[in-house]
Amino acid sequence: MKYIRYEDERPIDRQFGGFIMRLSTGPGKGVLRVLASLVSRALEGGDVCLDLQSVAGREIMTGEEHVSIPELPELLDVLSRSGVVSDGGGNLPLVKGRGSLLYLQRYHVAESGLARAILNRCLEPQGDPEKEARTALLLQLFPAESEDGGGMQRAAALQALRRRFSVIAGGPGTGKTTTVVKILALLAGEDGTGGGRIAMAAPTGKAALRLSGSVRMQKAALHCTDAARRAIPDEASTLHRLLQAVPGTGRFRHGPLNPLPYDTVVVDEASMVALPLMHAFFSALSPSCRLILLGDPDQLASVEAGAVLGDICAAARLPGSALHGSVTVLERNYRFDGGSDISDLARAVNGGRVEESLGLLAPDRGNGVVLRPPYVGWNERDGVPEELADAIMEGYRPFLEAGDPPSALLAFDRFRMLGAIGDGPGLSGVRGLNMAAEQVLRRAGLIDPSSPFYHGRPVMVRENDYSMRLFNGDTGIVFNDPECDAPLVWFNAPDGSLRAVAPERLPKHETAYAVTIHKSQGSEFDAVLMVLPRQDSPLLSRELLYTAITRARRSVEIRADPEALSAAIRKGTARVSGLKDALLNP
């Protein structure tokens, strides 16, 4: 195909293109304009850079013009003479990186800086895991009989003890948290001081909350000294809070000149961390700090640019990689021990295996996973389709009937409707599903949505508010305070307690009976009802489906057209980035 349609150019891309064109002092201004615009556009789509191979020798049709892009050698010549593109050395707005990759300078700095920081941490293994006392405790915490699959959890522990950088990768329930808690106990040693100062963090408030709860539970059950137990933190914070984000600036108080005061840092849900944040985080670690990343590289990549965890894991798999021995992949699912169709389905979807996925989803096998036809539209007269109304009643009645905020919050996490898109016709998006939920629950007399903060309304926070300590993705429930008869919004706090916020102090938020799959990352529910748009959409991908399926502990119902579902399973998304290469060939 000689032509590329570029009709979704946004004003901001066009402006950036124009800016670069005006700055340039060489030939081919039209080419530079459109390339700069494409780089800006690529970032919006999650890519870190633009691969010039994908446009060289093509005719690009924007809404307003046609631009012929020269073949690669000539194109590289145009770029090098433009006065706006460096090879990474100078301070120009664009950078031609390795091979044929074109970056905004800031992203090239982040990517090459992160690659260097990772490789430096991989240089010399440290620590002495063979020390006798430790080995004894290691064998006690990771007894050979408790695992199959070659003792991967123990291998992950040894790797984390030896290195300043390690990754424990794996799907849900594979024991990442269990393993890291044991590692922290091993590091802490009998007197609890061996791990130095320990911090735990996650990219979102919700994920930090889950990590805190999970670690508290795991460490209570641990066979170790009280001193070692005390050394393991009870609370995880968000990465932004750990780094002390300066509100409104995109900058952090902690950085190379003011490193984090920790000796050991654990980051969970690392797949959600975008390139710029990961770079800022690595830059803020002191050289001797031990870093352990946990995450599932098969999940949706970060909302912002990059697929850092995926790139690290991919680089580690290749022969000769300096990362060899830094990444352990846990495969056995302990949460669904004895096999579960949810994890089989997740694996089949992740592997792009359409037939196998559809086979597992065959209706009425009673196996916890089922595919049903999409909902047809709804209107005021006909009401919500009966099957959806039943699901909403069954899923949400328990939390609405709960007598106090703690049990309501607990019950609310048993069920969630997940949409692939926020807004779509009828019941194909999150907006329609939320409206349907309110209608069904109102008719059943379970809610009275005549005021915005009605008793029982679930809300999800949509922005970070540092002064209120509420973060994007935090989910709360409105509960009428019986003492003053005023509504309060209740949230789980990272230390395991509950906090109430007055509605007028709530940052930007939305109703959350249904949320997008993107926003469900880092959460888990007993039952998930996933609704896909009726037709294939560019948003659908196997990573999206995998992420939704792996949110469920007990059951998943998918509402989709089998064709659209199959197309999504076939579609893997790869983000353009140079990180893997930079890790392999420094």
Ligand X SMILES: Nc1ncnc2c1ncn2[C@@H]1O[C@H](COP(=O)(O)OP(=O)(O)OP(=O)(O)O)[C@@H](O)[C@H]1O
d(CA 291, CA 161): 10
- Shortest reach from residue 547's CB to ligand X, in Å: 12
Interaction pattern, residues 205-244, with ligand X; x per rule: CB under 6 A: ---------x------------------------------
Q: Is 127 annotated as a binding residue?
A: no
* Token duo for residue 249: 């600036």
Contact between 175 and ligand X by CB under 6 A: the answer reads yes
Q: How far is the CB of 250 from ligand X (least distance, A)?
A: 29
- Asked if 334 interacts with ligand X (CB under 6 A), we say yes
Query: Quick check: 343 binds ligand X (CB under 6 A)?
Result: no
Fill in the per-residue mask, 300 to 319: x = in contact with ligand X (CB under 6 A), - = not in contact: --------------------
> According to CB under 6 A, which one of 98, 335, 442, 571 is a site residue for ligand X?
335
- Considering only the stretches 63-71, 110-118, 166-174, 455-463, report the one whose residues sit in contact with ligand X under the rule CB under 6 A: 166-174
- How far apart CA 332 and CA 499 sit, in angstroms, is 36
Query: Pick from 46, 93, 129, 170: which binds ligand X (CB under 6 A)?
Result: 170
For residue 214, the minimal CB distance to ligand X (Å) is: 5
Buried/exposed 76-92: b ≥16 CB within 10 Å, e otherwise:
bebbeebebbbeeeeeb
Question: Per CB under 6 A, does 176 bind ligand X?
Answer: yes
The yes or no reply on residue 173 touching ligand X (CB under 6 A) is yes
* 170 annotated as a binding-site residue: yes
Q: Report which of 290, 189, 286 is spatially closest to residue 232, judged by C-alpha positions.
A: 189
What is the Cα–Cα distance from 111 to 47, expressed in whole angstroms? 12
| 97 binding ligand X? (CB under 6 A) | no
147 lines the binding site for ligand X (CB under 6 A): yes
Q: Should residue 203 be labelled a site residue for ligand X when binding is judged by CB under 6 A? A: no
Query: Binding ligand X by CB under 6 A: which of 24, 62, 112, 178?
Result: 178
DSSP state of 412: H
Residue 174 in contact with ligand X, rule: CB under 6 A: yes
Chain centroid to CA 94: how far? 28
Query: Which tokens sit at 531?
Result: 């609704």
Number of residues that bind ligand X (CB under 6 A): 14
Please name which of 113, 53, 427 lies closest in space to residue 285, comparing C-alpha atoms. 113
Q: Distance between CA atoms of 374 and 395, rounded to whole angstroms?
A: 19
- CA 208 to chain CA centroid, Å, is 12
Binding mask 369-408 for ligand X (x = CB under 6 A): ----------------------------------------
**Coil, helix or strand at residue 565:** helix
> What six digits make up the tokens of 505?
């102090």
With a CB cutoff of 8 Å and minimum separation 6, the contacts of 319 are none
Residue 338 annotated in ligand binding: no
Torsions phi, psi of 516, nearest 5? -75, 155
Q: Which residues bind ligand X (CB under 6 A)?
A: 146-147, 153, 170, 172-178, 214, 334-335
